[in-house]
Amino acid sequence: MTITPQTPSQEPFDRQVVIVGAGPVGLWLAHELAVAGVNPLVLERAPRRSPHSKALGIQPRTIEVLALRNRHRDVIARGRPLPNWHFGMLEARVDFRDLPTAFPYLLAQPQSVTEQLLEGYATELGVEVRRGHDVTSLSQDGGSVTVGVRGPEGSYTVDADYVIGADGARSVVRQEAGIDFPGSGTSAYGFLGEVTLDRPPMTPGFTALNEAGRLLVVPLPGGQFRVTGYDPQNQTREPMTLDELRDASIRIAGTDFGMRDPSWLSRFGNATRLAARYRAGRVLLAGDAAHIHWPAGGVGLNVGLQDAMNLGWKLAAVVQGRAGEDLLDTYHAERHPVGRELAEHTRAQTALIVGLTPEVTALRALLSEALDGARAFSDLLAGKLSEGI
Ligand SMILES: Cc1cc2nc3c(=O)[nH]c(=O)nc-3n(C[C@H](O)[C@H](O)[C@H](O)COP(=O)(O)OP(=O)(O)OC[C@H]3O[C@@H](n4cnc5c(N)ncnc54)[C@H](O)[C@@H]3O)c2cc1C
């Protein structure tokens, strides 16, 4: 990789891999490459890490992946193990306790903590993360990829042997590489607020599930609560407000729990798309750049980290000349089917969450009965959430 300097005083230097995006997936991939002796450059648009945490959970298989590098102790020390979790907000819970793993639980942990830890692991190995550097263009010929970057001190280009798009749902890398993103658009919106509750529910993980909608209240480290769910009366792209959250909570749960002082209000949708190819020549995609879905069951970040794990050692081997380029095709072959399964089970969960008809209510009751009564069914769903166990 050659960097064309912004100013004549800057020395160009050579590296082989550029990672676009310092979200959890880009950071873990950077760590994996560094472990193998490749020193990637990470370009991140945002000037600093987001204080907000989309994801709140780490699945058992992901802890196993971190443990392969002896990087699991910090997440376990800072997280809270939950022996069961939900699938499609069903009344009955998916039980993790019988999974064949050393970590048979969902680890409750905010994404901001996970990202902080992953960035620490990568930079400890010498990885440079450039914040405030927005990738605006990309082109490739047979031998290299040129990335256009807008940085705090002006624009510049970087030539790299390989570029990884870990730049999230609206991936510029995916678009510039001409990789299609087929699937279905948004037809339902969920709501999310992180608020102080003067009268929090007595049960941690409180849910209200009825014909008015769905509501889940989760305690967060630091004392606030996440109030999230689905409200059929507010299906809009307009910014979420505290009044709307309060109103939804009263209609669905019968109380607003004394909510105040929001630190974050947001919406999310059920657009579900999967990149047609995870590799286009010298450009590869990982994480949300490759797959998006309704955030049901707490899986997106997990699948993304597992993408990065699959890709890291392969890319390092190719870059170092220890393997041929065709090894990179196994990344698509192995991870694309996982992305397809992710799309399918999150679609199924979405149907269970946004369906408020008597028919869906009956289906939910039937599935809950099966979950409570059939160990194999619980294990099947736990395996889908955890992916790969
Ligand atoms: C409400 C909600 C709850 C969720 N809960 C869970 C959960 O419990 N468990 C779970 O596993 N997943 C969950 N997810 C999904 C999870 O948050 C995502 O799957 C995860 O963030 C994907 O990581 P990523 O690194 O692929 O992408 P991102 O986290 O989106 O990171 C991409 C990075 O790329 C940067 N970037 C973008 N464009 C450019 C550019 N042009 N140049 C440079 N940098 C760029 C961005 O600034 C960003 O930092 C949830 C999502 C939502 C919305």
User: b/e map of 73-83 (b: 16 or more CB within 10 Å)?
Assistant: ebbbeebebee
Given a contact cutoff of 8 angstroms between Cβ atoms, the answer to whether 39 and 33 are in contact is: yes
Q: Does 161 lie in the same domain as 289?
A: yes
Return mean pLDDT, the chain: 94
* Structural domain includes residue 36: yes
**The whole model's pTM is what?**
0.95
Is the confidence at residue 389, as pLDDT, over 90?
no
Q: What local confidence, expressed as pLDDT, does residue 142 receive?
A: 85
Parent domain of 298:
2-52+113-183+273-354
Tell me the best of 28, 43, 45, 85 to mutate to test the pocket of ligand 1, counting ligand atoms within 8 Å of each CB and taking the most: 45
285 assigned to some structural domain: yes
Report the residue among 63, 133, 301, 311 best suited for mutation to probe ligand 1: largest number of ligand atoms under 8 A from its CB: 301
For the chain, percent of residues with pLDDT exceeding 90: 91
Is the CB–ligand 1 distance for residue 271 below 6 Å?
no
**What's the sign of the alpha-carbon dihedral 349, 353, 355, 360?**
positive
Domain count, the chain: 2
Reply yes or no on whether the pLDDT at 388 is more than 80. Answer: no
Contact between residue 291 and residue 338 where contact means Cβ atoms under 8 Å apart: no
Residue 104 lies in a domain: no
How crowded is the C-beta side of 367, counted as CA atoms within 13 Å?
21
The pLDDT, as a whole number, for residue 176 is 98
Domain co-membership, 292 together with 332: yes
In the reported structure, the alpha carbon of residue 277 is separated from the centroid of ligand 1 by a whole-number distance in angstroms of 19
For residues 142 and 169, membership in a common domain is answered with yes
Nearest atom (ligand 1) to Cα of 192: 1
- 152 falls within a domain: yes
Q: Say which CATH number the domain at 201 has.
A: 3.30.70.2450
**Per-residue model confidence (pLDDT) at position 203:** 84
Kindly state whether residues 217 and 277 are assigned to the same domain.
Answer: no
Q: Which two tokens stand for residue 344?
A: 């399918």
The reply to whether 42 and 167 lie within a common domain is yes
- Output the pLDDT for position 215: 97
Does 212 map to a domain? yes
Residue with tokens 């590098």: 69
The pLDDT tens digits for 122-180 are 999 999 999 999 999 999 998 999 999 999 999 999 999 999 999 999 999 999 999 99
Residue ending a domain, among 269, 299, 330, is 269
Pocket probe mutation, ligand 1, options 49, 52, 54, 226, max atoms within 8 Å of Cβ: 54
Whether residue 144 sits in one domain with residue 161? yes
Higher pLDDT, 374 or 4: 374
pLDDT at residue 16, rounded to an integer: 93
Q: Is residue 105 in some structural domain?
A: no
Binned at pLDDT 50, 70 and 90, residue 69 comes out as very high
Question: Which ligand 1 atom is nearest residue 21's CA?
Answer: 34
Buried b / exposed e along 236-271 (16+ C-beta atoms within 10 A): eeeebeeebbbebbebbbeebbebeebebbebbbbb
Cα–Cα dist 168/255, whole Å: 36
Contact 102, 64 (CB under 8 A): yes
Look at residue 47 and tell me if it is in a domain. Answer: yes
Same domain for 160 and 117, yes or no, is yes
Query: Could you tell me if residue 339 is inside a domain?
Result: yes
Q: Is a pLDDT exceeding 50 seen at residue 10?
A: no
Q: What is the pLDDT of residues 233-291, one digit of tens each?
A: 999 999 999 999 999 999 999 999 999 999 999 999 999 999 999 999 999 999 999 99
- 176 and 301 inside one domain: yes
Query: 142 and 27, same structural domain?
Result: yes
105, pLDDT greater than 60: yes
**Does one domain contain both 125 and 168?**
yes
Residue 40: alpha-carbon gap to chain centroid: 21
- pLDDT higher than 80, residue 9: no
277 with 347, same domain?
yes
Q: Which residues make beta-bridge pairs with 119?
A: none
Asked if 257 and 249 count as a contact pair (C-beta separation under 8 A), the reply is: yes
> CATH code at 48?
3.50.50.60
CA distances from 331 to 39, 42, 280, 310, 312 (A): 20, 20, 12, 7, 10
CB 199 within 8 A of CB 249: no
Mean pLDDT of 92-116: 94
